[in-house]
Protein backbone atom coordinates (compact mmCIF):
# COMPACT_ATOMS: atom_id res chain seq x y z
CA UNK A 1 0.00 0.00 0.00
CA UNK A 2 1.46 3.42 -0.95
CA UNK A 3 2.37 5.63 1.99
CA UNK A 4 0.63 8.97 2.54
CA UNK A 5 3.04 11.84 1.71
CA UNK A 6 4.40 13.66 4.74
CA UNK A 7 5.81 17.20 4.98
CA UNK A 8 9.60 17.14 5.07
CA UNK A 9 9.89 18.61 8.58
CA UNK A 10 8.07 19.11 11.84
CA UNK A 11 8.66 21.77 14.52
CA UNK A 12 7.63 20.95 18.08
CA UNK A 13 8.22 21.95 21.69
CA UNK A 14 9.66 19.06 23.70
CA UNK A 15 10.79 18.32 27.24
CA UNK A 16 14.58 18.84 27.27
CA UNK A 17 15.01 15.65 29.28
CA UNK A 18 13.47 13.67 26.43
CA UNK A 19 15.54 15.14 23.59
CA UNK A 20 18.40 12.75 22.72
CA UNK A 21 21.89 14.12 22.30
CA UNK A 22 22.17 12.56 18.85
CA UNK A 23 19.34 12.14 16.37
CA UNK A 24 19.95 11.39 12.66
CA UNK A 25 16.65 13.10 11.73
CA UNK A 26 17.13 16.31 13.74
CA UNK A 27 17.47 19.55 11.81
CA UNK A 28 17.62 21.85 14.82
CA UNK A 29 17.57 21.92 18.60
CA UNK A 30 17.03 25.43 19.98
CA UNK A 31 17.40 26.10 23.70
CA UNK A 32 16.44 29.27 25.55
CA UNK A 33 18.10 31.07 28.45
CA UNK A 34 21.76 31.61 29.28
CA UNK A 35 23.86 33.25 26.57
CA UNK A 36 23.71 33.51 22.80
CA UNK A 37 25.74 30.36 22.14
CA UNK A 38 26.56 28.15 19.20
CA UNK A 39 29.01 25.32 18.63
CA UNK A 40 30.55 24.69 15.20
CA UNK A 41 30.89 21.05 16.21
CA UNK A 42 27.08 20.83 16.64
CA UNK A 43 25.47 22.52 13.63
CA UNK A 44 21.99 21.45 14.81
CA UNK A 45 22.16 23.21 18.21
CA UNK A 46 21.70 26.84 19.24
CA UNK A 47 21.13 28.56 22.57
CA UNK A 48 19.47 31.98 22.70
CA UNK A 49 19.66 34.52 25.53
CA UNK A 50 15.88 34.75 25.87
CA UNK A 51 14.91 33.82 29.44
CA UNK A 52 11.90 31.48 29.68
CA UNK A 53 8.99 32.93 31.62
CA UNK A 54 7.37 29.66 32.66
CA UNK A 55 8.82 26.72 34.59
CA UNK A 56 10.11 23.61 32.80
CA UNK A 57 10.79 25.50 29.59
CA UNK A 58 10.70 23.21 26.55
CA UNK A 59 13.25 22.94 23.77
CA UNK A 60 12.26 23.78 20.19
CA UNK A 61 13.04 20.73 18.04
CA UNK A 62 12.94 20.52 14.25
CA UNK A 63 12.86 17.00 12.82
CA UNK A 64 13.01 15.82 9.23
CA UNK A 65 11.43 12.82 7.55
CA UNK A 66 14.71 12.03 5.78
CA UNK A 67 18.12 11.53 7.39
CA UNK A 68 19.97 14.82 7.89
CA UNK A 69 23.35 15.95 6.63
CA UNK A 70 25.16 18.66 8.59
CA UNK A 71 28.23 20.83 8.40
CA UNK A 72 29.85 24.18 8.96
CA UNK A 73 30.85 26.29 5.98
CA UNK A 74 32.23 29.82 5.80
CA UNK A 75 30.84 30.85 9.14
CA UNK A 76 27.41 29.21 8.70
CA UNK A 77 26.27 26.10 10.52
CA UNK A 78 23.71 24.03 8.64
CA UNK A 79 21.66 20.87 8.48
CA UNK A 80 19.73 19.73 5.42
CA UNK A 81 17.83 16.98 3.65
CA UNK A 82 16.91 16.72 0.00
CA UNK A 83 14.03 19.16 0.58
CA UNK A 84 14.88 21.61 3.36
CA UNK A 85 17.84 23.57 4.70
CA UNK A 86 18.27 24.93 8.23
CA UNK A 87 21.15 27.34 8.76
CA UNK A 88 22.48 29.79 11.31
CA UNK A 89 25.09 32.49 11.83
CA UNK A 90 26.46 33.89 15.10
CA UNK A 91 28.44 37.12 14.72
CA UNK A 92 30.41 39.22 17.15
CA UNK A 93 29.65 42.90 16.48
CA UNK A 94 33.15 43.81 17.65
CA UNK A 95 34.45 42.33 14.39
CA UNK A 96 32.70 45.27 12.69
CA UNK A 97 33.82 47.95 15.13
CA UNK A 98 30.48 47.73 16.92
CA UNK A 99 28.66 48.76 13.72
CA UNK A 100 25.43 46.73 13.77
CA UNK A 101 24.43 47.88 10.26
CA UNK A 102 27.71 46.54 8.87
CA UNK A 103 27.29 43.28 10.80
CA UNK A 104 23.71 42.82 9.56
CA UNK A 105 24.67 43.63 5.97
CA UNK A 106 27.56 41.14 6.11
CA UNK A 107 25.38 38.45 7.70
CA UNK A 108 22.58 38.77 5.15
CA UNK A 109 24.94 38.93 2.18
CA UNK A 110 26.52 35.68 3.37
CA UNK A 111 23.18 34.06 4.21
CA UNK A 112 21.58 34.95 0.87
CA UNK A 113 24.55 33.62 -1.09
CA UNK A 114 24.81 30.50 1.06
CA UNK A 115 21.27 29.16 0.72
CA UNK A 116 21.38 29.66 -3.04
CA UNK A 117 24.79 28.01 -3.36
CA UNK A 118 23.46 25.04 -1.37
CA UNK A 119 20.65 24.58 -3.90
CA UNK A 120 17.80 25.90 -1.73
CA UNK A 121 16.90 29.19 -3.46
CA UNK A 122 13.62 29.82 -1.59
CA UNK A 123 14.02 31.57 1.75
CA UNK A 124 10.91 30.71 3.79
CA UNK A 125 11.49 31.96 7.36
CA UNK A 126 14.16 33.94 9.23
CA UNK A 127 14.74 34.70 12.93
CA UNK A 128 16.99 37.60 14.06
CA UNK A 129 18.17 38.04 17.66
CA UNK A 130 20.53 40.68 19.08
CA UNK A 131 20.79 42.81 22.25
CA UNK A 132 19.91 46.42 23.15
CA UNK A 133 17.23 46.99 20.50
CA UNK A 134 16.38 50.47 21.78
CA UNK A 135 19.85 51.85 22.38
CA UNK A 136 20.19 54.92 20.16
CA UNK A 137 23.05 56.03 17.90
CA UNK A 138 22.91 59.10 15.68
CA UNK A 139 19.15 59.38 16.02
CA UNK A 140 18.36 55.71 15.24
CA UNK A 141 17.74 52.82 17.60
CA UNK A 142 19.56 49.53 17.06
CA UNK A 143 16.53 47.85 15.51
CA UNK A 144 16.39 50.57 12.86
CA UNK A 145 20.16 50.27 12.36
CA UNK A 146 19.80 46.50 11.90
CA UNK A 147 17.01 47.04 9.34
CA UNK A 148 19.27 49.46 7.45
CA UNK A 149 22.05 46.88 7.14
CA UNK A 150 19.66 44.07 6.20
CA UNK A 151 18.02 46.25 3.54
CA UNK A 152 21.40 46.99 1.93
CA UNK A 153 22.04 43.27 1.49
CA UNK A 154 18.52 42.58 0.17
CA UNK A 155 18.83 45.39 -2.38
CA UNK A 156 21.81 43.70 -4.01
CA UNK A 157 19.94 40.48 -4.82
CA UNK A 158 17.43 42.17 -5.32
CA UNK A 159 14.49 40.84 -3.31
CA UNK A 160 11.20 42.63 -3.86
CA UNK A 161 8.16 42.89 -1.63
CA UNK A 162 6.69 39.62 -2.95
CA UNK A 163 9.90 37.70 -2.28
CA UNK A 164 10.49 38.60 1.36
CA UNK A 165 10.19 35.76 3.88
CA UNK A 166 8.37 35.78 7.18
CA UNK A 167 10.67 37.01 9.94
CA UNK A 168 11.12 37.83 13.62
CA UNK A 169 13.53 40.31 15.26
CA UNK A 170 13.77 40.30 19.06
CA UNK A 171 16.17 41.75 21.62
CA UNK A 172 18.17 39.26 23.69
CA UNK A 173 20.03 39.56 27.00
CA UNK A 174 23.57 38.78 25.79
CA UNK A 175 26.01 39.96 23.10
CA UNK A 176 26.02 38.54 19.59
CA UNK A 177 23.90 38.75 16.44
CA UNK A 178 22.23 35.38 15.88
CA UNK A 179 20.30 34.68 12.67
CA UNK A 180 18.78 31.34 11.77
CA UNK A 181 16.62 30.42 8.79
CA UNK A 182 14.64 27.83 6.88
CA UNK A 183 14.97 27.51 3.09
CA UNK A 184 13.52 25.14 0.50
CA UNK A 185 13.84 24.11 -3.13
CA UNK A 186 10.59 25.83 -4.12
CA UNK A 187 9.14 29.14 -2.90
CA UNK A 188 6.17 29.60 -0.65
CA UNK A 189 3.48 32.24 -1.05
CA UNK A 190 3.91 35.49 0.85
CA UNK A 191 0.85 36.44 2.93
CA UNK A 192 0.01 39.97 4.04
CA UNK A 193 -2.39 41.10 6.74
CA UNK A 194 -5.33 43.19 5.46
CA UNK A 195 -5.42 44.94 8.84
CA UNK A 196 -1.86 46.21 8.47
CA UNK A 197 0.30 48.18 6.06
CA UNK A 198 2.98 45.97 4.53
CA UNK A 199 6.19 46.34 6.55
CA UNK A 200 7.89 46.96 3.21
CA UNK A 201 5.85 50.19 2.93
CA UNK A 202 6.14 51.62 6.44
CA UNK A 203 6.45 55.42 6.62
CA UNK A 204 9.96 56.86 7.02
CA UNK A 205 9.29 57.74 10.67
CA UNK A 206 9.96 54.08 11.52
CA UNK A 207 13.46 54.24 10.07
CA UNK A 208 15.40 55.11 6.92
CA UNK A 209 14.77 51.64 5.44
CA UNK A 210 11.79 49.33 5.76
CA UNK A 211 11.81 46.31 8.08
CA UNK A 212 11.60 44.13 4.92
CA UNK A 213 9.58 41.03 5.80
CA UNK A 214 6.24 39.49 4.92
CA UNK A 215 3.58 38.85 7.54
CA UNK A 216 3.66 35.10 6.84
CA UNK A 217 4.85 32.50 4.36
CA UNK A 218 2.54 29.69 3.23
CA UNK A 219 4.37 26.64 1.88
CA UNK A 220 2.52 23.66 0.43
CA UNK A 221 4.61 20.60 1.12
CA UNK A 222 3.59 17.15 -0.04
CA UNK A 223 0.98 16.06 2.45
CA UNK A 224 0.08 19.35 4.11
CA UNK A 225 0.54 23.13 4.10
CA UNK A 226 2.76 24.89 6.58
CA UNK A 227 2.13 28.50 7.58
CA UNK A 228 5.08 30.37 9.09
CA UNK A 229 3.74 33.54 10.76
CA UNK A 230 6.10 36.42 11.49
CA UNK A 231 6.41 38.06 14.87
CA UNK A 232 3.03 39.79 15.20
CA UNK A 233 2.36 42.82 17.39
CA UNK A 234 -0.49 45.14 18.35
CA UNK A 235 -0.29 47.21 15.15
CA UNK A 236 -3.20 48.27 12.95
CA UNK A 237 -2.27 50.04 9.75
CA UNK A 238 1.21 51.03 10.85
CA UNK A 239 0.30 52.46 14.26
CA UNK A 240 0.81 50.84 17.64
CA UNK A 241 -2.53 50.21 19.38
CA UNK A 242 -3.09 50.22 23.16
CA UNK A 243 -0.70 50.76 26.04
CA UNK A 244 -1.69 47.79 28.19
CA UNK A 245 -0.58 44.20 27.68
CA UNK A 246 -4.02 42.52 27.70
CA UNK A 247 -5.41 44.91 25.09
CA UNK A 248 -2.29 44.54 22.96
CA UNK A 249 -2.57 40.76 23.16
CA UNK A 250 -6.20 40.77 21.99
CA UNK A 251 -5.17 42.95 19.02
CA UNK A 252 -2.41 40.46 18.23
CA UNK A 253 -4.92 37.60 18.21
CA UNK A 254 -7.09 39.57 15.77
CA UNK A 255 -4.04 40.07 13.55
CA UNK A 256 -3.14 36.38 13.68
CA UNK A 257 -6.68 35.47 12.69
CA UNK A 258 -6.59 37.97 9.79
CA UNK A 259 -3.34 36.47 8.48
CA UNK A 260 -4.80 32.97 8.71
CA UNK A 261 -7.90 34.02 6.77
CA UNK A 262 -5.77 35.74 4.13
CA UNK A 263 -4.26 32.37 3.19
CA UNK A 264 -7.55 31.10 1.77
CA UNK A 265 -6.70 27.65 3.16
CA UNK A 266 -9.80 25.68 4.28
CA UNK A 267 -8.20 24.66 7.57
CA UNK A 268 -7.26 28.27 8.38
CA UNK A 269 -9.77 30.54 6.67
CA UNK A 270 -13.15 29.14 7.75
CA UNK A 271 -15.26 31.63 9.75
CA UNK A 272 -14.63 29.88 13.07
CA UNK A 273 -10.90 29.37 12.61
CA UNK A 274 -8.66 31.24 15.01
CA UNK A 275 -5.19 31.05 16.55
CA UNK A 276 -6.20 27.97 18.56
CA UNK A 277 -5.77 26.03 15.29
CA UNK A 278 -2.09 26.87 15.13
CA UNK A 279 0.43 24.18 16.03
CA UNK A 280 2.75 26.39 18.09
CA UNK A 281 2.85 29.89 19.55
CA UNK A 282 6.01 31.67 20.65
CA UNK A 283 5.30 34.76 22.77
CA UNK A 284 7.96 37.37 23.53
CA UNK A 285 7.08 39.49 26.58
CA UNK A 286 8.96 42.70 27.41
CA UNK A 287 8.29 42.72 31.17
CA UNK A 288 8.45 39.38 33.07
CA UNK A 289 5.66 40.54 35.35
CA UNK A 290 3.24 40.42 32.38
CA UNK A 291 3.81 36.73 31.69
CA UNK A 292 0.95 35.41 33.83
CA UNK A 293 -1.42 37.95 32.32
CA UNK A 294 -0.45 36.84 28.81
CA UNK A 295 -1.15 33.22 29.71
CA UNK A 296 -4.49 34.13 31.31
CA UNK A 297 -5.69 36.17 28.32
CA UNK A 298 -4.77 33.37 25.90
CA UNK A 299 -6.62 30.84 28.06
CA UNK A 300 -9.70 33.07 28.38
CA UNK A 301 -9.80 34.14 24.71
CA UNK A 302 -8.99 30.97 22.79
CA UNK A 303 -11.09 27.80 22.74
CA UNK A 304 -7.86 25.94 23.39
CA UNK A 305 -4.26 27.13 23.69
CA UNK A 306 -1.69 25.65 21.29
CA UNK A 307 1.69 24.62 22.67
CA UNK A 308 3.16 27.88 23.98
CA UNK A 309 6.73 29.03 24.53
CA UNK A 310 6.84 32.16 26.71
CA UNK A 311 10.09 34.15 26.58
CA UNK A 312 11.39 37.50 27.80
CA UNK A 313 12.59 39.69 24.94
CA UNK A 314 12.54 43.27 23.73
CA UNK A 315 10.09 44.11 20.94
CA UNK A 316 10.89 46.25 17.89
CA UNK A 317 9.09 49.35 19.25
CA UNK A 318 9.44 50.63 22.80
CA UNK A 319 5.64 50.95 23.19
CA UNK A 320 5.04 47.29 22.29
CA UNK A 321 4.77 44.97 25.30
CA UNK A 322 4.26 41.57 23.67
CA UNK A 323 4.74 39.92 20.29
CA UNK A 324 3.65 36.47 19.10
CA UNK A 325 4.80 34.33 16.19
CA UNK A 326 2.90 31.26 15.08
CA UNK A 327 3.25 28.04 13.14
CA UNK A 328 0.62 25.93 11.44
CA UNK A 329 1.85 22.50 10.47
> String of b and e for 48-83 (b: at least 16 CB within 10 Å)?
bbbbbbeeebbbbbbbbbeebeeeeeeebbbbbbeb
Task: Please identify which of the residues 47, 60, 105, 323 carries the catalytic annotation.
Answer: 323
Contact 88, 126 (CB under 8 A): no
Could you give the CA distance from residue 294 to residue 250 in angstroms, rounded to a whole number? 10
Active site residue 323: yes
Burial class for 271, CB neighbours closer than 10 Å (0-12, 13-18, 19+): exposed
Exposed / middle / buried, residue 194 (Cβ in 10 Å: 0-12, 13-18, 19+): exposed
Q: Is the peptide bond before 158 cis (omega within 30 degrees of 0)?
A: yes
Instruction: Write out the catalytic residue numbers.
Output: 323
Amino acid sequence: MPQTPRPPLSIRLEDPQGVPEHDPHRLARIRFGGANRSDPARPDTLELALPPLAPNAPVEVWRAVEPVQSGFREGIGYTCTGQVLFGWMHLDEDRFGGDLAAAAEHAYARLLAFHRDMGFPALLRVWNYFPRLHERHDGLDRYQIFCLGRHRALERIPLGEGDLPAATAIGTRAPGLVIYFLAGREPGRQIENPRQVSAFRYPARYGPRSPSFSRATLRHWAGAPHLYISGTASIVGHETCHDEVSAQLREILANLKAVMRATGEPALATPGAGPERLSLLKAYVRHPGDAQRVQAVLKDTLDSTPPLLLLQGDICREDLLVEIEGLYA
